[in-house]
A = this chain, B = another copy of it.
Amino acid sequence: MSDRPIDALDKAKGKRVYIRLKNGEEITGMLKALDLHLNLWLEDVEITAGQTKRKSNVLLIRGDNILYASPV
């Protein structure tokens, strides 16, 4: 059990993940790349901010905004 916490997300590369930001926004997308700061490169993205939904082909999230993340 010498896993690193980031492996929880790393093994989801190429699959969809759910991200919750500190400001309450929720983001789902296909995880393309990540690093130890939790900077994330997502593709085919949907962002939910309160009642508003937006779509984006590609999104780079700055890791310090992230509350938690899950493989979907």
Contacts and interface: CB of A to CB of B under 8 A. Distances in A.
Given A22-B23, A66-B62, A39 B71 contact: no
Interface string A30-45: 0011110011110000
Copy number of this protein in the oligomer?
7
Nearest to A45: B70
Contact of A5 (B4, B7, B14, B39): B39
Contacts of A40: 5
Q: How many A residues are at the interface, by size bracket?
A: 35 or more
B70 A32 contact: no
A23 B59 contact: no
Nearest to A63: B62
Contact of A69 (B22, B32, B60): B60
